[in-house]
């Protein structure tokens, strides 16, 4: 089957998708967006978390056909997504039950303006980063980094909803994301740091 949907603001079309393929598979293997990670592919680890119409979901549990006509943001589009949100205010409180439309944090038209910009292919240096991405680097929250994309998407959604979370709020929000390297302490540090920087910037 053919699936049409928006990924990081770009209209995408995947052909010859087998009905059993997950959104994760289509992103990684058909669209060349391997940022969402395949750590368990059974909805237990959160490494493949993406925003689907603004709501964080495990993309391994979403059948590709379910995203027809919908809007997906992956870690590759997180910086642009956050930038758009900053520029257009907090429109993205999906997942809080507050009458969220199908377009998530920004309008689909606005989203279509986004383009993932390749950074320095050797290092990624110079790539624009979102607040939460920069905080993960600065706090030492990245080790092997396999859990990082899912944590970033989830943590970004948390901060969108709750700009000054308590430690327990952070733990609750990230409890579906496994990390095997860090012991989580520096991940907590990163989210606290991002929250502090966010409040300074306001």
Partner 1 sequence: MAQNTRTVPAGTPTNVTQKHTKGGIGESTLRPDGTLKVTGEFAYSSDMWHEDMLWGQTLRSTVAHAEIASIDISEALAMPGVYSVLTYDDLPAEMKNYGLEIQDTPVLANGRVRHHGEPVALVAADHPETARRAAAKIKIDYRELPVVTDEASALAEGAPLIHEGRDDHHSGHVPHPNIVHRQPIIRGNVEEARKRADVIVEGEYTFGMQDQAFLGPESGLAVPSEDGGVDLYVATQWLHSDLKQIAPVLGLPEEKVRMTLSGVGGAFGGREDISMQIHACLLALATNKPVKIVYNRFESFFGHVHRHPAKLYYEHGATKDGKLTHMKCKIVLDGGAYASASPAVVGNASSLSVGPYVIEDVDIEAIALYTNNPPCGAMRGFGAVQACFAYEAQMDKLAAKLGMDPVEFRQLNAMEMGTIMPTGQVVDSPAPVAELLRRVKSRPLPPERQWETAGEGADVRALPGGLSNTTHGEGVVRGVGYAVGIKNVGFSEGFDDYSTARVRLEVINGEPVAMVHTAMAEVGQGGVTVHAQIARTELGVTQVTIHPADTQVGSAGSTSASRQTYMTGGAVKNTCEAVREAVLEIGRRKNGSYHPAWATAELLLEGGKVVTDGGEVLADIAEILEGEDAIDLELEFRHRPTVAFDLKTGQGDGHVQYTFAAHRAVVEVDTELGLVKVVELATAQDVGKALNMLSVVGQIQGGTTQGLGVAIMEEIIVDPKTAKVRNPSFTDYLIPTILDTPTIPVDVLELADPNAPYGLRGMGEAPTLSSTPAVLAAIRQATGLELNKTPIRPEALTGTL
To the nearest whole angstrom, how small is the minimum distance from the Cβ of residue 62 to partner 1?
17
Nearer to partner 1, 6 or 133 (CB): 133
To the nearest whole angstrom, how small is the minimum distance from the Cβ of residue 101 to partner 1?
26
Binding to partner 1 in span 140-179, by CB under 8 A:
140, 142-149, 152, 168, 170-172, 174-179
Give yes or no for residue 94 binding partner 1 (CB under 8 A). no
Nearer to partner 1, 25 or 91 (CB): 25
Left if phi > 0, otherwise alpha if psi is -120 to 50, otherwise beta: which for 15?
A: beta
Q: Which of 136, 156, 157, 195 binds partner 1 (CB under 8 A)?
A: 136
Cα dihedral 189, 193, 195, 200, rounded to 10, equals: 160
Helices 148-161 and 185-201: angle between axes, nearest 10 degrees: 40
Query: CA geometry: angle at 144 spanning 71 and 127, to 5°?
Result: 55
Give yes or no for residue 105 binding partner 1 (CB under 8 A). no
Give yes or no for residue 10 binding partner 1 (CB under 8 A). no
Return the bridge partners of 72, or none: 7, 52
């Amino acid at each position: 089957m053919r699936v049409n949907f928006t990924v990081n603001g770009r209209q995408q079309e995947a052909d010859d998708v087998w009905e059993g393929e997950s959104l994760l598979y289509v992103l990684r293997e058909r669209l060349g967006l391997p940022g969402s990670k395949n750590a368990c592919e059974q909805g237990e680890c959160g490494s493949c978390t993406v925003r689907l119409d603004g709501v964080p979901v495990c993309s391994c549990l979403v059948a590709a056909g379910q995203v027809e006509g919908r809007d997906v943001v992956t870690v590759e589009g997180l910086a642009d997504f956050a930038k758009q949100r900053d520029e257009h205010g907090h429109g993205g409180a999906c997942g809080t039950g507050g009458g969220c439309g199908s377009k998530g944090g920004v309008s689909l038209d606005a989203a279509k303006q986004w383009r993932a910009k390749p950074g320095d292919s050797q290092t990624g240096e110079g790539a624009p980063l979102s607040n939460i991405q920069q905080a993960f680097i600065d706090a030492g929250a990245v080790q092997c980094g396999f859990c990082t994309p899912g944590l970033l998407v989830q943590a970004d959604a948390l901060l969108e909803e709750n700009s000054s979370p308590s430690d327990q709020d952070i733990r609750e929000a990230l409890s579906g994301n496994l990390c095997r390297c860090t012991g989580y302490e520096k991940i907590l540090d990163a989210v606290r740091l991002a929250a502090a920087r966010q409040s300074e910037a306001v």
